[in-house]
Amino acid sequence: MSAAAEVRGRLTLRGEPGYEQARVGRVFNARKPDRYPAAVLEVADAEDVVAGVRLAIERGWAVSVRSGGHSWAAWSVRDEALLLDLGALRAIEYDDATGVVSAGPATMGALELAPFLTERGRAFPGGHCATVGIGGYLLQGGQGWNGRARGWACESIVAVDVVTADGEHLRADARQNSDLYWAARGAGPGFPGIVTRFHLQTYEAPKAMWHDTWSFHLDDAEAVIHWLHEVLPALDPRVEPVMAATRLPDIPLYEGVEHPGGTVLLLHATCMADSDDEAEALLAALGTCPVLGRELGHVTGPTTVAEESVAQTAQNPEGHRYAVDCAWTNASADVLAPLLLDIWRELDTDHSFSIWYGWAPTRQLPDMAFSVEGNVYVATYLIYTDEQDDALYRSRVHERTAAIARDGGVGVYLGDTDFTARQDRFLDPEHYARLEQIRAHRDPAGRIAGYLTADRDGLNVHA
């Protein structure tokens, strides 16, 4: 029997009706790639992934994988490959005895997993953007809510169900197939298999979540950056500070204060704690900013992940084109501030934004593939609608980010990269070498498409 006959999901070959929708319909970035898979299989279930891999082996195709479709570079869309679309794999189950939740890779962290766990008094450090699927998010590391305190989301993976490059369906954890378990926590698209289910340790839901949000003129940016660098190392890890340069009009404004127009600064911190009083007290450290009195507005109080997700959705609209890049940096405020201002002053579309995300102090990470982080995370999202602006915004975001990477930069986070335009280190060199050994052992034929890069020899080379 042909392997195609064993497939139960919708298989669409290039040139057939519905191919274009299957190819890029679930790609979030409206800047669709000019790459064309040989076929797309929208899998029916986990065993259909096995059938898909066997079909790829029979036809001599590589295999690429799509979970949520939020990769800015659309890693899943690869020339002449079989694209396995895992959109149907989103069932969620919870084990009361262990506190472990299992979920399919297309499950949306904020819109599906978070409310499921909230009903059970549990929580998991899901991603900030509401519609991101957990598959790519966890494989890349998982920079999510309460990350400074809880760590990378991938640290809470206790097991993964994996279809290997030769079509075997197996469980990987700390005791069995531990090489795949190690790789699943940080390898991103270089993982040598297809995860069909994640098993995640959950935690008691925090009793309180608060936010503290200040609006500032862009002219005050340098002073605020210097102050943040001073207070960050001693800031309680339950406080998650993000400063965003944004052009959205919906920011806190005092009564009678008008939006100045253009780009403004939004210092937005969240805190998960054991009580409202504790959360408020922890956030009070942000009340020492030296430019207080010149702010445009300030609000603080209880919030929820669901409420925060509404704001994230407003800042990251569907149907727009995105050019994105990022850098981890240990640069001083003296070095970083002018480089950030170069980016922030150039923001010129309604939704474009750029963030300074305080992560310090860094710590010894568990033994897993994920291995690059720094004191501060900088990411810029240029968001626009006209195809004619692709070259402009892509060159701008990568050139400006490269300037940050050159002085104090330590690497990138895979979730906000596009290696077809700019590459940098994303794993510690020893971890990268170990991952390459695992990939060679588990996928000697190179069937899993892996990293999408303009320069394979320059992969994981620090800029």
Q: Say if residues 263 and 246 touch (Cβ distance below 8 Å).
A: yes
Instruction: Determine the average pLDDT of the residues in 329-357.
Output: 97
Asked if 223 and 363 sit in the same domain, the reply is: yes
Asked if 52 and 110 sit in the same domain, the reply is: no
Instruction: Determine the average pLDDT of the residues in 301-321.
Output: 90
Q: How far apart are CA 50 and CA 276, in angstroms?
A: 49
Asked if 406 and 290 sit in the same domain, the reply is: yes
- For residue 435, count other CB atoms closer than 10 A to its CB: 23
pLDDT of residue 345: 97
Q: How far apart are CA 116 and CA 202, in angstroms?
A: 12
Q: Say if residues 346 and 339 touch (Cβ distance below 8 Å).
A: no
Q: Is residue 301 part of a domain?
A: yes
The string of pLDDT tens digits covering residues 324-342 is 999 999 999 999 999 999 9
Q: Confidence band (pLDDT; 50, 70, 90) for 377?
A: very high
- Helices then strands, counting H and E runs in the chain, come out as 13, 19
CA distances from 192 to 64, 66, 183, 368, 431 (A): 10, 14, 8, 15, 15
Q: Is residue 434 part of a domain?
A: no
Q: How far apart are CA 296 and CA 220, in angstroms?
A: 11
Asked if 40 and 105 sit in the same domain, the reply is: no
pLDDT of residue 129: 86
DSSP-assigned states of every residue in 124-151: ---BSSTT-BHHHHHHH---BTTHHHH-
Q: Say if residues 266 and 246 touch (Cβ distance below 8 Å).
A: yes
Q: Is residue 426 part of a domain?
A: no
Instruction: Determine the average pLDDT of the residues in 435-451.
Output: 97
Asked if 140 and 67 sit in the same domain, the reply is: no
Q: Is residue 444 part of a domain?
A: no
CB neighbour burial string for 390-416, b if at least 16 within 10 angstroms, e if fewer: eeebbebbbebbbebbeebbbbbbbbb
pLDDT of residue 156: 97
pLDDT of residue 5: 66
Q: Is residue 391 part of a domain?
A: yes
Q: Is residue 457 part of a domain?
A: no
Is 326 in a helix, a strand, or coil? strand
According to DSSP, the residues that pair with 365 across neighbouring strands are: none
Cis (ω within 30 of 0) for the bond into 189? no
Percent over 70 (pLDDT), the chain: 99
Beta strands in 398-449 (DSSP E): 409-411
Q: Confidence band (pLDDT; 50, 70, 90) for 312?
A: confident
DSSP-assigned states of every residue in 330-367: ---HHHHHHHHHHHHTT--SSS-EEEEEE-PSP-PPPS
Asked if 233 and 258 sit in the same domain, the reply is: yes
Instruction: Determine the average pLDDT of the residues in 213-242.
Output: 95
Question: 247: which 2 tokens?
Answer: 């052009």
- Is residue 4 pLDDT above 80, yes or no? no
Asked if 161 and 40 sit in the same domain, the reply is: no
The string of pLDDT tens digits covering residues 7-33 is 899 999 999 999 999 999 999 999 999
Asked if 328 and 215 sit in the same domain, the reply is: yes
Q: Which residues contact 325 (CB under 8 A, 6 or more apart)?
A: 379, 380, 397, 398, 400, 401, 412, 416, 417, 418, 421, 422
Domain that holds residue 13: 3-85
Is 80 in a helix, a strand, or coil? coil
pLDDT of residue 1: 58
Q: Of 287 and 443, which is predicted with more confidence?
A: 443
Q: Which amino acid is at 352?
A: S
Q: Say if residues 410 and 402 touch (Cβ distance below 8 Å).
A: no
The string of pLDDT tens digits covering residues 148-194 is 999 999 999 999 999 999 999 999 999 999 999 999 999 999 999 99
- Is residue 130 pLDDT above 90, yes or no? no
Q: How far apart are CA 30 and CA 383, in angstroms?
A: 10
Give the CATH number for residue 277.
3.40.462.20
Q: How far apart are CA 85 and CA 49, in angstroms?
A: 9
- Sign for the CA dihedral angle at 178, 446, 13, 1 comes to negative
Q: How far apart are CA 63 and CA 189, in angstroms?
A: 11
Q: How far apart are CA 308 and CA 204, in angstroms?
A: 19
DSSP state of 112: I
Lowest-pLDDT range of 151-155, 360-364, 381-385: 360-364
Is 70 in a helix, a strand, or coil? coil
- Is residue 314 pLDDT above 90, yes or no? no
Mean pLDDT of the chain: 95
Which among 44, 64, 85 is the end of a domain? 85
Instruction: Determine the average pLDDT of the residues in 36-61.
Output: 97
Asked if 268 and 403 sit in the same domain, the reply is: yes
Asked if 382 and 274 sit in the same domain, the reply is: yes
